Amino acid sequence: MINNIQELRERLFTSGIVKNEQELQGCTSDEIAYIESKYGVLPRTYREILGLLGYSAGKLVSRSEFEFYFDQIIKMNEWQREAILESIAEGEECTTLPENAFCIVARNGDPCFIIADGQDDCSVYMLHENDTIEEIHTSVMDWIEVYVEDAEYWIRRGVR
């Protein structure tokens, strides 16, 4: 179980997800501040994750399969808000996310988000195509551990 950012970093290297320091590239404090200026104060755990692997994390996730890294999540958050505003303008019923919701990953268009309210850690939610919201993890560390376990599985099988 991953309990903190140091354990995450060690696990990325010991599992072969990250082979060297060059494969691990985090966001700057200015980039994290940019996110927080638009969406609210991120939970400490997620700020630390962005600071460790906001741009690159070896074989953790594929850029073609996930919107996971800084540039991708910025675009996903902007797109998500535009899509909701468009739906509302067209008179469609849709689930609106809280103002301080921040999408941290999306796969196949299904975004997962947190509430940026400055807590130490928080739950992770998924917005499904049918506009229902589901809590999928009780903490950001639990969320990232699923990605680590998945990457380890595929590395052991020689796929990544």
Per residue of the chain (160 residues), give pLDDT as tens. Answer: 899 999 999 999 999 999 999 999 999 999 999 999 999 999 999 999 999 999 999 999 999 889 999 999 999 999 887 877 777 677 777 677 788 999 999 987 788 999 999 999 999 999 887 778 899 999 999 999 999 999 999 999 998 7
Using an 8 Å Cβ cutoff, are 51 and 70 in contact?
no
Q: Is 24 helix (H, G, I), strand (E, B) or coil?
A: strand
What pLDDT is recorded for position 14? 97
Distance CA 20, CA 22 (A): 5
What pLDDT is recorded for position 88? 66
Strand order across the 110-115 sheet: 66-67, 101-107, 110-115, 124-127, 133-137
Q: Using alpha carbons, list the distances in angstroms from residue 127 to 57, 101, 110, 140.
A: 25, 11, 6, 16
DSSP string for residues in 106-150? EETTEEEEEE-S--SS--EEEE-TTS-EEEEESSHHHHHHHHHHH
Nearest Cα neighbor of 125 from 47, 57, 43 is: 43
pTM for the structure as a whole: 0.91
Distance CA 69, CA 24 (A): 12
Q: Is 56 helix (H, G, I), strand (E, B) or coil?
A: strand
- The values of phi and psi at residue 98, to 5°, are -55, 150
